[in-house]
């Protein structure tokens, strides 16, 4: 994989091949899902995703208005516990 190829796919290519995406993921030592922004993996432990990771994925699939409601509820809860300040 050359720097020129990466630059081309980053700036000009509209639909990189699955093979290219796989190679880039391997180059950066991440999964294809992570590379495409579909997976949230704060640590690299093996095994099934945690319940929090599963819920985060489900939340990301909701419409923005519903995401906002859930995020506001979570922020309110965390503020009460002193874990997060208001934004």
Which tens digit of pLDDT belongs to each residue from 14-64?
777 787 778 777 877 888 888 777 766 565 666 788 888 888 888 888 888
Both 55 and 29 in one domain: the answer is no
Both 53 and 29 in one domain: the answer is no
Residue 26: count other Cβ atoms within 10 Å of its Cβ: 13
Average pLDDT score over residue span 68-84: 84
Query: For residue 16, what are the domain limits?
Result: 1-39
pLDDT at position 1: 61
In a domain, residue 44? The reply is no
pLDDT at position 24: 76
Q: Distance between CA atoms of 44 and 73, rounded to whole angstroms?
A: 28
- Closest to 72 (Cα-Cα) out of 86, 53, 56: 86
């Amino acid at each position: 994989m050359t720097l020129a190829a990466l630059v081309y796919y980053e700036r000009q290519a509209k639909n990189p091949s699955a093979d290219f995406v796989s190679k880039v993921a391997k180059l950066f030592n991440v999964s294809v899902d992570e590379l495409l922004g579909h997976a949230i993996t704060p640590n690299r432990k093996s095994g099934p995703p945690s319940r929090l990771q599963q819920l985060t994925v489900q939340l990301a699939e909701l419409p923005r208005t519903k995401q906002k409601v859930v995020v506001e509820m979570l922020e309110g809860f965390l503020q009460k516990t002193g874990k997060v300040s208001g934004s």
